[in-house]
Chain A
Amino acid sequence: MHRRRHSLLALAVTAALALSACGGSDDDGGSGGSGGSGSGEPVPGGTAAIGMVSEPRTLDPAYLSNNLTTNALVGNALYGSLVTNDPVTGEVSPSMAESVETTDGGTTYRLVLREGLTFSDGTPLDAAAVQANWDRARSVELRAPVIAVAINITATTPVDPRTLEFTLRTPTLAFDQTIATSALNWIASPAALAGGQAALDAAPIGAGPFVLESWTRGGAMELVRNDTYWDAPRPYLDGLTLTAQNDAVQRFNTLQSGQVDAILNNSPVITQRAEDAGIAVAVPSEPNGGSTVVFQTQTAPFDDVRAREAVYKAIDLDVVQSAVFNGAGTVPRSLFGEESPFYTGEYLSGSDPERAQELFDELADEGTPVEFTMVTFPTTEALAVAQSMQSQLAAFDNVTMEIDNRDFAGAQGALTGGQFQASIAGLQFVDPEPQLYSGLYSTSFLNFSKIADPEIDEALDAARLTADESARTEYYTTVEERVGELYPFIIWSATRENVLGDLQGVELYGTGSVVLSGAWLDE
Chain B
Amino acid sequence: MTLLGTLRKVARSLLVVLLVTFMVVALLSLAPGSVATIILGPAATPESEAALISELGLDRPVWTQYLDWLGNAVQGDLGTSLLTDLPVTDIIAERLPVTLELALLAQVIALGIAVPLAIAAAARPGSVVDRITSALASASLSIPAFVAAPILVYFLALQLDLFPVSGWNDLSEGIGPNLESALLPAFAIALAEIAAFQRLLRTDLVGTLREDYIAAARAKGMSPTFVMLRHALRPSSFSLITLLAISTGRLLGGTVIVETLFSLPGLGSLVVNSITSRDVIVVQGVVAFIAVVYVALNTAVDVGYGLLDPRVRKEARA
Contacts and interface: CB of A to CB of B under 8 A. Distances in A.
Interface string B272-283: 110111100000
Contact of B33 (A140, A219, A243, A414): A414
Contacts of A216: 94, 170, 265
A395 interface: no
The winner among A197, A218, A244, A256 for most chain B CB atoms within 10 A is A218
Interface stretch (A7-15, A223-231, A385-393, A469-477): A7-15
Given A411-B33, A413-B34, A416-B40, A201 B259 contact: no
B169 interface: yes
A411 B168 CA distance: 30
A147 interface: yes
B204 interface: no
A2 B165 CA distance: 9
A146 B37 CA distance: 14
B84 A408 contact: no
Given A3-B168, A5-B269, A218-B265, A12 B42 contact: yes
Contacts of B275: 407
B158 interface: yes
Interface residues of B, number: 54
Interface in A229-283: 243-245, 250, 253-254, 256-259
Interface string B257-299: 0011111111001101101111000000000000000000000
B245 interface: no
A257 B158 contact: yes
A331 interface: no
A200 to B, nearest CB: 9
Contacts of B94: 216-217
A143 B39 contact: yes
Interface string B45-60: 1101101100000000
Contacts of A259: 164-167
A198 B277 contact: no
Number of contact residues on A: which range applies?
Answer: 35 or more
B166 to A, nearest CB: 6
B48 A143 contact: yes
Contacts of B277: 8, 57, 408-409
A254 to B, nearest CB: 5
A242 to B, nearest CB: 12
Given A6-B269, A259-B165, A259-B166, A245 B46 contact: no
A245 B153 CA distance: 15
A243 B263 contact: yes
A407 B274 CA distance: 11
Contacts of B42: 11-12, 145, 148, 412, 415-416, 445-446
Contacts of B38: 8, 57, 408-409, 412
Contacts of B91: 217
A367 interface: no
A145 B40 contact: yes
A288 interface: no
B157 interface: yes
Given A8-B273, A409-B37, A2 B169 contact: yes
Contacts of A256: 158, 165
Given A11-B42, A147-B43, A148-B42, A2 B168 contact: yes
B32 A250 contact: no
A57 B83 contact: yes
A445 B42 CA distance: 8
Contacts of A12: 42
Nearest to A145: B41
A416 B47 CA distance: 11
Nearest to B154: A253
A145 B43 CA distance: 5
B166 A4 contact: yes
Given A254-B167, A413-B33, A446-B42, A8 B265 contact: no
Nearest to A252: B165
A250 B84 contact: no
Given A145-B40, A218-B265, A417-B46, A4 B167 contact: yes
Contacts of A445: 42-45
7 contacts: A5-B265, A140-B48, A216-B265, A409-B276, A416-B43, A417-B37, A446-B43
Given A58-B84, A250-B166, 14 more contacts: A2-B169, A3-B263, A58-B85, A145-B43, A218-B265, A219-B168, A245-B166, A250-B261, A258-B161, A259-B165, A406-B32, A409-B31, A409-B276, A415-B42
Interface of B: 31-35, 37-46, 48-49, 51-52, 83-86, 91, 94-95, 153, 157-158, 161, 164-170, 181, 259-266, 269-270, 272-273, 275-278
